[in-house]
Amino acid sequence: MRVMGVDPGLTRCGVGVVDGSPGKPLRLVHVTVVRTSPDDEIAARLLGIETGIEALMEEFRPDAVAVERVFSQHNVRTVMGTAQAAGVAMLIAARRGLPVAMHTPSEAKAAVTGNGRADKAQVTKMVTRLLRLDAAPKPADAADALALAICHVWRGGAQARIAAARTRTRGVGL
């Protein structure tokens, strides 16, 4: 399974693509950060994110997209921009008919480190180790995107099977 992880942000939107399946070694396909200028209007920034992610989806053709679930922060402007960038990524995936999963930062951290409260350095270290990379992905947004992709490879398949089983059992007299 090829998963594209997206760590949404208006200035830096991390995008990581990983191949793998539960119980098998993971392989890094690509990692990058789509950047926009904070001096640009919000619409232009969202267009820049859309253009960058669209090109990456076209080039790497993921089977699924994992996006960080936006959580409440104290800075409403930061939350809004992050949510808007996440929406752009989900829209592009939906347009292509790709399944989209949302994982919280704690879920991604727990998946790669075993600790949902791990700091960025721990996440980066484990992503580097799990993907057998010579150097850590930088900046942290890139490592976070890879952690989301890894989380989905390991947990997404099980979640999809559970959802499919629920769908099959609806309407069945149990």
Q: What is the pLDDT of residues 119-155, one digit of tens each?
A: 999 999 999 999 999 999 999 999 999 999 999 999 8
pTM greater than 0.75 (yes/no): yes
| Residues catalogued as catalytic | 7, 68, 141
Residue 174: per-residue pLDDT: 46
**CA 70 to CA 135: how far, in whole Å?**
28
Is 42 within 8 Å of 84 (Cβ atoms)?
A: yes
Share of the chain above pLDDT 70, in %: 88
**CA 1 to CA 17: how far, in whole Å?**
10
Q: pLDDT averaged over the chain?
A: 91
Strand ranges, E, within 20-79: 27-35, 64-68
In this predicted structure, the answer to whether residue 21 has a pLDDT above a threshold of 80 is yes
In this predicted structure, the answer to whether residue 2 has a pLDDT above a threshold of 90 is yes
Those residues whose C-beta lies under 8 Å from the C-beta of residue 4, and which sit 6 or more positions away, are: 15, 16, 17, 56, 57, 60, 62, 64, 65, 66, 93, 149
Residue 75: per-residue pLDDT: 74
